[in-house]
């Protein structure tokens, strides 16, 4: 150590000794405080015998309720606000993505409906229709033939109701 630091250390020690000389009551208190009492000695010195299970290497476990619990380090206000903003942004992004997925699904369903409708119309257009004017023929037909007969509206133009 250099000369300056030695002088500083000596001055500090001297001031401590001077304060002890001026206040002798604090010395007595310090001595009493350092003296261990019988109760504390009994707590610290607990002799344990051989465990019943025979597992001598196992140490005595401490209960969770007696353990000291800390709340941990809390983030400061700026970090909290930054985290909130980031969380809000990610929620908005996820919501947008979900809306896009729903919209795509809706469009796909709509296209499917339109395609089914178009195919149905095309089937109706391509049908070969034979008009039965004589209803007596229906009575003479067999069951199997009657199954294939379907009613259709043969009018091309829809009637307007006035």
| pLDDT at res. 63 | 83
Rounded-to-integer distance, Cα 155 and Cα 161, Å: 15
Q: How confident is the model at residue 108 (pLDDT cuts 50, 70, 90)?
A: very high
For tokens 């109706």, the residue is 124
> Angle CA(100)–CA(102)–CA(87) in degrees, nearest 5?
55
Q: Which two tokens stand for residue 80?
A: 């909290």
Percent of the chain with pLDDT over 70: 77
pLDDT score of 110 more than 90: yes
15-59 tens-digit pLDDT: 777 766 666 555 455 455 455 555 444 555 566 778 888 888 888
Domain residue ranges in the chain? 1-43, 75-123
Per-residue tokens: 29: 């208190």
What is the model's pTM?
0.39
Residue 42 CA, chain-centre distance (Å), reads 49
Q: What does the pLDDT read at residue 44?
A: 57
Instruction: Please give the average per-residue pLDDT across 137-145, as a whole number.
Output: 91
């Amino acid at each position: 150590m250099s000369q300056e630091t030695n002088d500083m250390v000596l001055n500090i020690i001297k001031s401590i000794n001077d304060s002890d000389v001026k206040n002798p009551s604090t010395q007595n208190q310090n001595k009493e405080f350092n003296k261990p009492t019988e109760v504390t000695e009994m707590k610290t010195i607990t002799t344990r015998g051989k465990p019943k299970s025979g597992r001598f290497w196992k140490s005595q476990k401490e209960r969770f309720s007696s353990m000291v619990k800390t709340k941990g380090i809390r983030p400061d206000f700026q970090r909290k606000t930054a985290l909130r903003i980031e969380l809000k942004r990610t929620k908005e992004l996820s919501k947008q993505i979900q809306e896009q997925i729903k919209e795509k699904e809706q469009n796909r369903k709509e296209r499917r409906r339109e395609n089914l409708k178009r195919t149905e119309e095309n089937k109706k257009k391509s049908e070969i229709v034979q008009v039965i004017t004589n209803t007596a023929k229906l009575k003479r037909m067999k069951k199997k033939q009657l199954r294939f007969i379907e009613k259709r509206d043969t009018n091309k133009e829809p009637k307007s109701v006035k």
